[in-house]
Structure 1
């Protein structure tokens, strides 16, 4: 069974933090689905990922292209798992089901408490996943690095 990692953005916006997290996931050899709830915001992420971490390219696509199944990183607002991911990253309040976590290397919930009700959604997601027996860790940015704050 995989684990769910919760990443609380406290110092940088999603557009800056996500490329770094995705780069590490690619380095681990994982195929990644970035699951959002708003196609316009996913398009903004798509534009940002063309630059990637340290201005490097992160290979990716947006769902609806010819080669969705071949994308190492696929941005989507669905739960279709078209690229057979081993890591699902939920952004913008998207959900990951406990049964999904079991089949993944890693599930990530990335949230920014300054945006809408993302912190409440993350808390509900934590309760749902840990209540179903999933292992979870909570990380927050501190001094421009990630610090583990809780584990279940």
Structure 2
């Protein structure tokens, strides 16, 4: 069973954090699903990942080679079968069974948005209530720190 890592953004954006999460996951040899809520937003992230500092091979879900993509960008309702790491942004739902199947689940949320905070709190309660080990990470102090 994988664990769920909650990333509470207060100083940066998902666009700043997600490439490093993907790079670390790929370095571990993991296949990654990046799940959002909006197809247009995922298309913007697709552009960002192609233009970033490091090459992160990936694709948008719905193509003929989805099963071969090392990183697949999806929206709610789509899945990357066999993903070892699931990164959820913008309140995309993650179920306990997905945490069980994955090595790691990363839930990235905007701490400056009350709605996003409430969604993350609900996800924390659901996942930990189902027995999923969870960690909470905050960047409030200027660098990422695990909180207890």
* Range into which the TM-score falls when normalised by the shorter chain: over 0.9
Query: For the Cα contact (< 8 Å) 1:72–1:83, is it kept in 2?
Result: no
Q: Normalising by the residue count of structure 2, what TM-score does the alignment of the two structures yield?
A: 0.93
Unaligned runs of 5+ in 1: none
Aligned match of 2:73 = 75
Query: Is 1:41 matched with 2:41?
Result: yes
What is the CA–CA distance in structure 1 between the aligned matches of 2:64 and 2:18, rounded to whole Å?
A: 24
Q: Using the alignment, how far apart are the partners of 1:142 and 1:20 within structure 2?
A: 18
Compute the displacement of 1:11 (Å).
1.3
- Please point out which of 105, 108, 114 is paired with 2:106: 108
Q: Distance in 2 between matches of 1:140 and 1:28?
A: 23
Structure 1 residue 78 displacement after superposition:
3.6
Q: CA deviation at 1:56?
A: 1.1
Given that 2:61 and 2:78 are in contact with CA atoms closer than 8 Å, whether structure 1 keeps it comes out as no
Q: Deviations over 1:48-101 (max 9, x none)?
A: 11123xx11111000111111111110001444335201111111001101111
Shift of 1:142: 4.4
2:74–2:80 CA contact under 8 A, matched in 1: no
Q: Name the residue aligned to 1:17.
A: 17
Q: CA deviation at 1:16?
A: 1.1
Structure 1 segment 1-152 matched on structure 2, within 5 A: 1-52=1-52, 55-115=53-113, 117-142=115-140, 144-150=142-148
2:62 is paired with a residue whose SS is coil
Q: Deviations over 1:118-150 (max 9, x none)?
A: 111000000000000110000011455311013
1:141–1:147 contact (8 Å) kept in structure 2? yes
Aligned length: 148
